[in-house]
Structure 1
Amino acid sequence: MRVGVPIFLFLAAAGFHTALTASLESAEKEDTFGEEVGLEQLSDLQKRDQEEFEAAQMSEEENDTQEEDMNRDGNVEADQHESESDEDVDGMRQKREHLEANVEEADETTNLAEVE
């Protein structure tokens, strides 16, 4: 029986050592696997984020382009309206000058008639 106790303790220690080693190796494999999966998932997330960012930039550029086009159209319309206003002012100025000339002629004619 004296021989059985040390053998039993040796086998128990060896079994404990084997179990502990297997557990540590398993934990390392899980960590490595988790890191690999994590990197793959992170890579997928980064790709998705990059795609969304690029889509947002393209959408923003399209919006900017549309706003610029609308501003240009508005400026063209404003320029046309301004040109029309200038033409109206020029036309009214010509009418006024014509009327003033007619009034002056009428005054001169009246003055001449009074003098005679």
Structure 2
Amino acid sequence: MRVGVPIFLFLAAAGFHTALTASLESAEKEDTFGEEVGLEQLSDLQKRDQEEFEAAQMSEAVQDENTEEENDTQEEDMTDRDGNVEADQHESESDEDVDGMRQKREHLEANVEEADETTNLAEVE
């Protein structure tokens, strides 16, 4: 029995060592395979991200271009409106000037008529 215990311990240690070595080799293979697959997946993800990023940049550029065109159109419209408002103001000022002159003329005519009447009355007396 004394000889059997050391042999049993030796066989148990050898079996444990073999199982541990096989487990470690399997883990290394899985890690290597996982890294290779992970790198492929990572590169695919990076490619997709890059494509999405480029598409987003192009979309932003198109939106910026459209926004600039809209702003230009709005500025042109505002300039046209300002020009129309100024023309309307000039027309109103001209109309006001004409009305003012007409009132002055009517006032002067009324004064002339009164002066004529006064003169006629003075002659009659």
TM-score w.r.t. length of structure 2: 0.46
Q: CA deviation at 1:25?
A: 1.0
Unaligned runs of 5+ in 2: 60-67
Runs of 4+ more than 2 Å apart: 57-116
CA distance in 2, matches of 1:30, 1:36: 10
CA distance in 1, matches of 2:18, 2:101: 108
C-alpha distance 111-72 of structure 1, shift in aligned 2 (>3 A): same
Cα RMSD between the aligned structures? 7.3
Q: CA deviation at 1:19?
A: 0.8
Q: CA deviation at 1:42?
A: 0.7
CA distance in 1, matches of 2:46, 2:124: 100
Q: CA deviation at 1:31?
A: 1.5
Deviation sequence 1:59-90 (CA, Å, 0-9, x none):
29999999999999999999999999999999
- Equivalent of residue 94 in structure 1, options 96, 103, 108: 103
Unaligned runs of 5+ in 1: none
Matching residue of 1:66: 74
Q: Which shows bigger deviation, 41-50 or 52-61?
A: 52-61
Q: Which shows bigger deviation, 40-49 or 89-98?
A: 89-98
Q: CA deviation at 1:35?
A: 1.3
- Equivalent of residue 78 in structure 1, options 77, 84, 87: 87
Identity %: 99
CA distance in 2, matches of 1:96, 1:103: 10
CA distance in 2, matches of 1:24, 1:110: 136
Q: CA deviation at 1:56?
A: 1.8
